[in-house]
Amino acid sequence: MSEKASQSGMAAGRLAFIVNPVAGGGRALRGYRTLRNVLRADGPSDDYISGCPGQAADLAARAVGRGYDAVIAVGGDGTVHEGVNGLFRAGLRDNVYRGPPLGLLPLGRGNDFARTFGVGGTLSEVWGRQSENINRNPPRIDVGRATVANDTQYHFVNMCGMGLDADVAATANRVPRFLGGVFPYLAGIFLNFAAMRSHSLHVELSDVQKINGCEGGEWAEADVRFNSDGERVVNIEDDLLLALTGVGRFIGSGMKLLPHAQPDDGYLDIMMARPVGRMRFLRVLRTSFSGRHLALADVAYYRAARVDIRPATAANIHADGDHIGSGLLKVEVLPQALPVLF
In single-letter form, the type of residue at position 53 comes to: P
Task: Say how far apart CA 115 and CA 268 lie, in whole Å.
Answer: 18
Cα–Cα distances (Å) from 163 to 116, 170, 189, 254, in that order, read 23, 11, 12, 19
> What's the N-to-C CA distance of the chain in angstroms?
26
Runs of H (alpha helix) within 136-268: 164-172, 183-191
| pLDDT single digits (tens) 57-67 | 999 999 999 99
pLDDT at 99: 97
Task: Name the segment(s) of the chain with CATH classification 3.40.50.10330.
Answer: 5-138
Which pLDDT does position 12 carry in this prediction? 62
- Provide the pLDDT for residue 5: 38
pLDDT value, residue 10: 40
pLDDT recorded at residue 6 = 36
What pLDDT does 176 receive? 57
Q: Where are the alpha helices (DSSP H) in the chain?
A: 27-42, 55-65, 77-91, 112-117, 123-131, 164-172, 183-191, 278-288
DSSP state of 335: E
The candidate with the shortest Cα–Cα distance to 28, out of 136, 145, 114, is: 114
Q: Please identify, in words, the CATH class of the domain defined by 149-339.
A: mainly beta
CATH topology of domain 5-138: Rossmann fold (3.40.50)
Q: What is the pLDDT of residue 189?
A: 64
CA 191 – CA 194 distance, rounded (Å): 7
Q: Where in the chain is the domain with CATH 2.60.200.40?
A: 149-339
- Per-residue pLDDT reduced to its tens digit, 232-271: 999 999 999 999 999 999 998 899 999 999 999 999 999 9
Taking 70 as the pLDDT cut, the residues of the chain under it are: 1-12, 40, 42, 172-195
**pLDDT of res. 8:** 35
Cα 336 to the center of its chain, rounded Å: 15
